[in-house]
Amino acid sequence: MEHSPHTVSDVMTRTVVAVGQEARFKEIVETMEQYKVSALPVLAGEGRVIGVVSEADLLPKEEFRGSELSRLEQARRLDDVRKAGGVTARELMSAPALTVHPGDTLAQAARTMAHTSVKRLPVVDDEGLLRGIVSRSDLLKVFLRSDEELAAEVRSDVLDRLFAGSAGEVEAVVTDGVVTLRGSFPTAAQLPVAARLVRAVEGVVDVRLDVAGTTPAPTEPGSVAGPR
């Protein structure tokens, strides 16, 4: 079945605040404060992303101020010790930068964020040039889609294709992003398949099955019927 999920380019912020690799510590802090961001892409040349400097990269300078670490502690936190002595973005940044591409799916971006515990990712093109930035809140925008919009996509991408020419009658009712599939499924094997495909529709919060034997719900906003 063909499916065109939303991509990073659909939700990313295209105007991005960034710094050059020679930006000084105080300049980085002032930029973060001015634009209310907690991390900044670090650029080289014509805009190629070479790293990211975040609040976490800057904190060791304060943490280690006036403190003496044991040799064991220094060895264990070598990267933080190095950053505590950093002055420029090049010395402070985390590199190489974790990035995504505009054509990546939201699921791919979400997995990268989850596995690496980062809050935002620079979006780069095939040459590594900065094209935008995507944050956790951007990825959640798909859940703002209306019930009517979700219902229409469930019908066109799932019901009309999965049950085309079938003897069953299936209806999708969407309430607050939760999709309930009601009706008569031609075979029991189609139940988990239908649920999986509907769950893949971006913006769907959950999927519930109400199989044959129930009385179909009346047509209401956010409700569509599949093939009959």
Radius of gyration of the chain (CA): 24
**Beta-carbon count within 10 A of 195 CB:** 17
Binned at pLDDT 50, 70 and 90, residue 146 comes out as very high
Q: pLDDT of 5-49, one tens digit each?
A: 689 999 999 999 999 999 999 999 999 999 999 999 999 998 999
Residues of the chain with pLDDT > 90, as a percent, come to 60
The count of other CB atoms within 10 Å of the CB of residue 44 is: 14
Give me 155's structure tokens: 């019908």
Please tell me the least confidently modeled range out of 89-98, 114-123, 206-215. 206-215
Quote the pLDDT of residue 167.
52
Beta bridge partners of 51: 42
Q: Rounded to whole angstroms, how far apart are CA atoms 154 and 173?
A: 10
Poorest-pLDDT segment among 26-30, 79-83, 217-221: 217-221
| Cα separation, 5 vs 105, whole angstroms | 7
C-alpha distances in Å from residue 13, one per residue of 6, 17, 94, 97: 15, 10, 21, 18
pLDDT at 85: 84
How far is Cα 29 from Cα 219, in angstroms, rounded to an integer?
Answer: 55
pLDDT score of 217 more than 60 = no
- Least reliable range by pLDDT among 75-84, 172-181, 213-222: 213-222
Place of tokens 């950093």: 86
Winning range, highest mean pLDDT, from 76-85, 120-129, 216-225: 120-129
Task: Please say whether the beta carbons of 75 and 63 come within 8 A.
Answer: no
Q: What is the pLDDT of residue 84?
A: 82
Q: For the whole prediction, is pTM greater than 0.75?
A: no
> In this predicted structure, what is the pLDDT of residue 74?
64
Task: Give pLDDT tens digits for 104-113.
Answer: 999 899 999 9
Q: Do residues 201 and 158 make contact, with C-beta atoms less than 8 angstroms apart?
A: yes
Q: What is the mean pLDDT of residues 106-134?
A: 94
Over range 91-109, report the average pLDDT: 94
